[in-house]
A = this chain, B = another copy of it.
Amino acid sequence: MTPAIGVFDSGFGGLTVLRALLERLPGARYSFLGDTARLPYGSKSRRTIARYAAQSARFLVDEQGAEFLVIACNTASALALDAIQDAVSVPVLGVIEPGAEAARAASTSGDVLVIATDATVQSHAYAAACRARGLRALEKACPLLVPLVEEGWTGHPVTDEIVNIYLGELRAEAAARGMRADTLVLGCTHYPLLREVFERSVRPGVKVIDSAESTAQAAARFFPGETHDPGAGHAPEAGPATEIRCFATDSVEKFERLGSRFLGRSVGAVELIDLGG
């Protein structure tokens, strides 16, 4: 049986998670929903985010038949995972726990840095998930990075400069607390597109954790017969057997234009839906 997996994000950043899922579970059937009419979630309240995310989750399960839900949005994972689990009856996987788990595996010192949106940071969801694993985490909001990625300035010197400012401030605060951080968690699905910038900006020896990749690994554990290890050789091309349908609540044109950068291949035709609101 082909598993039906629903992937949800406030925008299209979560396509980096879908990309990682396609490498691990190439045979699944995917429905991706970007709630683009109401993005960004990162600057909204918990109550509002929970309402939007629950509506979106119900669409993927009730109308698209998803049997498994990946919340490919750090803000929704941080603030609305409970609300989503209450709204649907299928297993729900967020990006925070897999990200924290990957940090635990990577860190020797036990001190990790997390960068994310405002709302994710204010929720302290990463700090809590890290603490539960015996890690100490320091979180920082970096509100300019999503707009920089969406502007397409991923290779622009100004982006390097802004990343250096943010990471410099974060390092200074970590040092003031006596932390010896050896791991940086990218706590936003837009950030993998800046991975090279982060690799250039971190101190030597600091590992950069992409929670998209660790989330795909965690998802693959739910489907043991379907998994493919990307390390074992070339990922099978997502051929005709792989079905991907993309939905958005607004700005389908922008989704189609920018989405391919995140997915690493064309997103095809994006279907416009109305969740009311």
Least CB separation from A157: chain B residue: B161
Residues of B within 8 A of A147 (CB): 143-144, 146-147
Which of these, B39, B40, B44, B161, contacts A158 with CB under 8 Å? B161
- Give the distance to chain B from A276, nearest Cβ to Cβ, in Å: 7
**Contact of B151 with A250 in the complex, beta carbons under 8 Å:** no
Contacts of A250 in B (CB 8 A): 44-45, 48
- Which of B43, B146, B276, B277 lies in contact with A254, CB distance below 8 A? B43
**A254–B153 alpha-carbon span in the complex (Å):** 27
> Chain B residue with minimal CB distance to A276?
B277
A contact residues, total (Cβ < 8 Å) = 26
Is A266 an interface position by the 8 A CB rule? no
When distances are taken between beta carbons in the complex, the residues of chain B under 8 Å from A43 are 36, 39, 251, 254
Instruction: Please pick, from B38, B44, B150, B165, the residue contacting A251 in the complex, using a CB distance under 8 A.
Output: B44
- Interface assignment of A162: CB less than 8 Å from any CB of chain B: yes
A277 proximity list for chain B (CB < 8 A): 38, 276-277
